[in-house]
Structure 1
Amino acid sequence: MIKIYAPASIGNVGVGFDILGAAITPIDGTLLGDCVSIKSSNTFQLNCYGNFSTHLPSDITKHITWKAWNWFNKKTNKKKPISITLEKNMPIGSGLGSSASSIVASVLAFNYFYKTKLTTIELIKLMGTLEGSISGGIHYDNVAPCYLGGLQLITNDIQYPIQKLPVFKNWLWIIAWPGITVSTSSARNILPLHYSQEECVQNSRNLSTFIHALYTQKSELAIRFMKDTIAEPYRILLIKKFLYIKKTIKKLGALTCNISGSGPTLFSICLNISIANKVKNWLEKNYIKNNQGFVHICKIDQLGARKIRI
Structure 2
Amino acid sequence: MESIKVFAPATVANVACGFDIFGLAVDNPGDEVIVTKRQDDQIVIQQITGDDGKLTFDIQKNTVTVPILKYLSHLDIKHGFDIILNKKMPLGSGLGSSSASSVAGVFAVNQLLNKPLNTEELLPFAMEGERIACGSAHADNVAPALLGGFVIIRSYSPLDFFKINTPADLYVSIVHPDVEVNTKDARHILKNEVSMNKTISQMGNVAGMVAGLISENYDLIGRSMVDYIIEPIRSILIPQFFEVQMAAKENGALGCSISGAGPSIFAFSRGKETAEKVGLAMQKEFTKVNIQSNLFVSSINQSGPKILD
Same fold (TM over 0.5): yes
Indicate whether 1:308 and 2:308 are aligned: yes
Give per-residue Cα distances to partners, 1:149-172, cap 9 Å, x unaligned.
Answer: 000011127787211111121122
Residues 1:59 and 1:83: Cα distance change in structure 2 (over 3 Å): closer
In the alignment, which residue of structure 1 is the partner of 2:183? 184
| Letter aligned with residue 224 of structure 1 | R
Task: Give, in whole Å, the separation in 2 of the partners of 1:71 and 1:306.
Answer: 22
In the alignment, which residue of structure 1 is the partner of 2:299? 299
Larger mean CA deviation between 256-265 and 163-172 belongs to 163-172
In the alignment, which residue of structure 1 is the partner of 2:8? 6
Task: Give, in whole Å, the separation in 1 of the partners of 2:72 and 2:216.
Answer: 46
Indicate whether 1:40 and 2:37 are aligned: yes
Q: Which runs of no fewer than 5 residues in structure 2 stay unpaired?
A: none
| Letter aligned with residue 152 of structure 1 | V
Q: Which runs of no fewer than 5 residues in structure 1 stay unpaired?
A: 27-31
Indicate whether 1:251 and 2:244 are aligned: no
Task: Show the 5 A alignment for 1:281-292.
Answer: 281-287=280-286
In the alignment, which residue of structure 1 is the partner of 2:192? 193
Give per-residue Cα distances to partners, 1:130-180, cap 9 Å, x unaligned.
Answer: 322322122110011000000001112778721111112112210011123
In the alignment, which residue of structure 2 is the partner of 1:54? 53
Task: Give, in whole Å, the separation in 2 of the partners of 1:159 and 1:192.
Answer: 24
The normalised TM-score by structure 2 is 0.89
Kindly tell me the number of residue pairs found equivalent between the two proteins: 303
Report the CA distance between 1:111 and its aligned residue: 1.4
Tell me, what secondary structure is at the counterpart of 2:277? helix
Contact 1:223 1:256 in 2 (8 A): yes
Which 4+ residue blocks in structure 1 deviate beyond 4 angstroms?
Answer: 75-79, 157-160, 288-291
Task: Give, in whole Å, the separation in 2 of the partners of 1:209 and 1:81.
Answer: 47
Report the CA distance between 1:79 and its aligned residue: 4.3
Residues 1:72 and 1:207: Cα distance change in structure 2 (over 3 Å): closer
Tell me, what secondary structure is at the counterpart of 1:248? helix
Residues 1:79 and 1:15: Cα distance change in structure 2 (over 3 Å): same
Task: Show the 5 A alignment for 1:159-238.
Answer: 161-238=160-237
Task: Give, in whole Å, the separation in 2 of the partners of 1:155 and 1:171.
Answer: 23
| Letter aligned with residue 186 of structure 2 | A
Contact 1:76 1:116 in 2 (8 A): no
Task: Give, in whole Å, the separation in 2 of the partners of 1:71 and 1:277.
Answer: 40
Task: Give, in whole Å, the separation in 2 of the partners of 1:223 and 1:256.
Answer: 5
Residues 1:200 and 1:159: Cα distance change in structure 2 (over 3 Å): closer
How much identity, in percent, do the aligned residues show? 32
Give per-residue Cα distances to partners, 1:84-137, cap 9 Å, x unaligned.
Answer: 111111222110001100000011111122346124443111112332232212
Task: Show the 5 A alignment for 1:75-94.
Answer: 75=74, 78-94=77-93
Task: Give, in whole Å, the separation in 2 of the partners of 1:272 and 1:38.
Answer: 37
| Letter aligned with residue 8 of structure 2 | A
Task: Give, in whole Å, the separation in 1 of the partners of 2:179 and 2:57.
Answer: 21
Contact 1:72 1:110 in 2 (8 A): no
| Letter aligned with residue 22 of structure 1 | L
In the alignment, which residue of structure 2 is the partner of 1:29? none
The normalised TM-score by structure 1 is 0.89
Tell me, what secondary structure is at the counterpart of 2:173? strand
